[in-house]
């Protein structure tokens, strides 16, 4: 039956995710899964992390895209070690893809592993890949109704970054409505308003990262 098949797929994924987690823990790497709609600003955020935290910690990135190596090349230019997974059509990363990509990424020197997931607000939240935390971006240009339309990702994430906050004067987006809806779905979610262009919110975001590195 269809339901059983889906359950089996998720159970098989969870077994591999657990093995990935053990590898992250053995290497003392804090791993987080970064999710959003297309173009919400994930790669730009990673580039800014690279600039701000260079010399303090070592960051590695797994870039997941349906096609192209554009994001891995962008990130590598900032001096961050990056590997690219091309999913050839799949709409999310799964634990096995992460497992395979770890053949090309040495975890030992890393403090943080960022997993930039394939883009959409649905499937990436359904598959654990062994990460310690899930972080999502929602940009102000996407609309303030998104938490109620795509609840799972808001329920699963520990952090919501409301991105491109510099564009707020130009769009009809009620940030209060996003906050209220996200908190109604997940009262523990940490919400930070950020702009990679102006730097707003980035110190708080980097502080959260550093706390997780030191306690992870
Ligand atoms: N105004 C504004 N634009 C931003 C900000 N951050 C990123 N952008 C722009 O948004 C576009 C997409 O940024 P990316 O960082 O590539 O977004 P992404 O989520 O990695 O995109 P995909 O991986 O293709 O889903 C680029 O043109 C960025 O320059 C921001 O804080 N403010
Ligand atoms: Mg990207």
- pLDDT band of residue 2 (cuts 50, 70, 90) is low
For ligand 1, whether the C-beta of 165 sits within 6 Å is no
**Residue nearest atom 2 in ligand 1 by C-alpha distance:** 164
Q: Is 73 left (phi over 0), alpha (psi -120 to 50) or beta?
A: alpha
Closest ligand 1 atom to Cα of 167: 1
Q: Which atom of ligand 1 is nearest to the CA of 119?
A: 25
Q: Which domain holds residue 202?
A: 2-215
Angle between helices 202-215 and 42-53 (to 10 degrees): 70
Strands (E), the chain: 30-35, 59-65, 81-86, 112-116, 133-139, 159-163, 190-193
Q: Residue 30 sits in a domain of what CATH number?
A: 3.40.50.300
65 CA distance to ligand 1 centroid (A)?
A: 15
Give the three-state DSSP class for 107.
coil
Would the CB of 166 count as within 6 Å of ligand 1? Answer: yes
pLDDT for position 32? 98
Q: Which tokens belong to 105?
A: 């990424």
Q: What are the pLDDT digits (tens) for 15-44?
A: 999 999 999 999 999 999 999 999 999 999
Domain count, the chain: 1
Take residue 139 and report the two structure tokens written for it.
Answer: 């940009």
Ligand 2 centre from 207 Cα, in Å?
A: 22
The predicted structure's pLDDT at residue 7: 77
- Give CA separation, 41 vs 71, 114, 142, in Å: 11, 14, 12
Please give the Cα distance from 13 to 10 (Å, whole number). Answer: 5
According to DSSP, the residues that pair with 82 across neighbouring strands are: 61
The model's pTM is 0.95
User: Is the CB–ligand 1 distance for residue 39 below 6 Å?
Assistant: yes
Tokens representing residue 208 in the block: 């959260």
Q: What are the backbone angles phi and psi of residue 124, rounded to the nearest 5°?
A: -55, -30
The answer, yes or no, to whether any atom of ligand 1 lies below 6 A from the CB of 119, is: yes
Ligand 1 atom 3, closest CA: 164
Ligand 2 centroid to Cα of residue 198, in Å, is 19
**C-alpha span between 179 and 181 (Å, rounded):** 6
DSSP state letters, 53-68: HTTT--EEEEEEESS-
CA of 213 to the centre of ligand 2 (A): 23
pLDDT tens digits along 62-95: 999 899 899 999 999 998 999 999 998 889 999 9
pLDDT at 151 over 90: yes
Q: Minimum mean pLDDT among 95-99, 120-124, 203-207: which range?
A: 120-124
């Amino acid at each position: 039956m269809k339901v059983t098949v889906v359950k089996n797929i998720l159970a098989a994924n969870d077994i591999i995710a657990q093995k990935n987690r053990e590898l992250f823990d053995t290497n003392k790497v804090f791993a987080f899964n970064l999710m959003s709609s297309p173009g919400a600003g994930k790669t730009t955020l990673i580039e800014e992390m690279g600039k701000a935290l260079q010399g303090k910690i070592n960051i590695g990135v797994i870039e997941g895209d349906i096609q192209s190596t554009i994001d891995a090349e962008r990130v590598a230019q900032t001096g961050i070690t990056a590997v690219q997974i091309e999913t050839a059509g799949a709409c999310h990363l799964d634990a096995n893809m992460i497992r395979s990509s770890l053949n090309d990424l040495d975890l030992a020197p890393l403090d943080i592993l960022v997993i930039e997931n394939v883009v959409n607000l649905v499937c990436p939240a359904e598959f654990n890949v062994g990460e310690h935390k899930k972080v999502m971006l929602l940009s102000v240009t996407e609309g303030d109704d998104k938490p109620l339309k795509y609840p799972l990702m808001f329920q699963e994430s520990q952090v919501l970054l409301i991105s491109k906050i510099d564009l707020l004067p130009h769009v009809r987006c009620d940030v209060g409505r996003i906050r209220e809806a996200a908190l109604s779905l997940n009262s523990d979610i940490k919400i930070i308003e950020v702009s990679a262009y102006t730097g707003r919110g980035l110190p708080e975001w980097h502080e959260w990262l550093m706390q997780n590195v030191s306690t992870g």
